[in-house]
Amino acid sequence: MINCEFSSFKATPLNDQTIAFRLEGEFGKHLNKELREEIMTALEHLNQNVIIDLTRVDNIDTSAAALLVECIRVSEATNTSFKVIGINNKVKSIFEMLKLSTIFNNIELSQIPRTNDHMLYHPRSA
């Protein structure tokens, strides 16, 4: 897990073809460098499908939105799948304000409720 002052992400392989990135806190420029490197490695070098889980994201800035757009383009070029899940209303309104909602119509952009029962958040058995 990479920790920044107000944010973190964790990469979780779901199977050989898919990796999920669970983000938490603020999704912005202080998180983008490490996250971008891992996502681009998955898409370009490992030909893995990528899921970005924003369920626990409180805020997103323009650099993070630009990273998501870049991921869409790379996934199209590498013929891999790129999905963004867990969009809350605040993040959705930022996408709409930046006029990105039309770009994200071409990928799976899903709103799901914030819950600890989400598939990527099951607690480990003790």
Q: Please give the pLDDT value at position 22.
A: 92
Q: Which residues contact 122 (CB under 8 A, 6 or more apart)?
A: none
pTM metric for this prediction? 0.74
| pLDDT per residue of the chain (126 residues) written in tens, 0 to 9 | 444 446 688 888 988 899 999 998 888 877 778 899 999 999 999 999 999 998 888 888 888 888 988 998 899 899 998 888 888 778 778 877 877 766 655 444 444 443 444 444 333 343
Q: Please give the pLDDT value at position 63.
A: 87
Number of C-beta neighbours around residue 25 at 10 A: 17
Q: 120 burial class (0-12, 13-18, 19+ CB within 10 angstroms)?
A: middle
Give the closest residue to 35 by CA, choosing from 66, 59, 58: 66
Kindly list the structural domains of the chain, giving each domain's residue range(s) and its CATH number in brackets, ordered by start.
Answer: 2-114 (3.30.750.24)
Task: List the structure tokens of 5.
Answer: 């002052």
Cα Rg of the chain, angstroms: 14
CA distance 33 to 15: 25
N- to C-terminal Cα separation, the chain: 20
Q: Where are the beta strands (DSSP E) in 1-123?
A: 2-3, 7-13, 18-27, 49-60, 82-85, 108-109
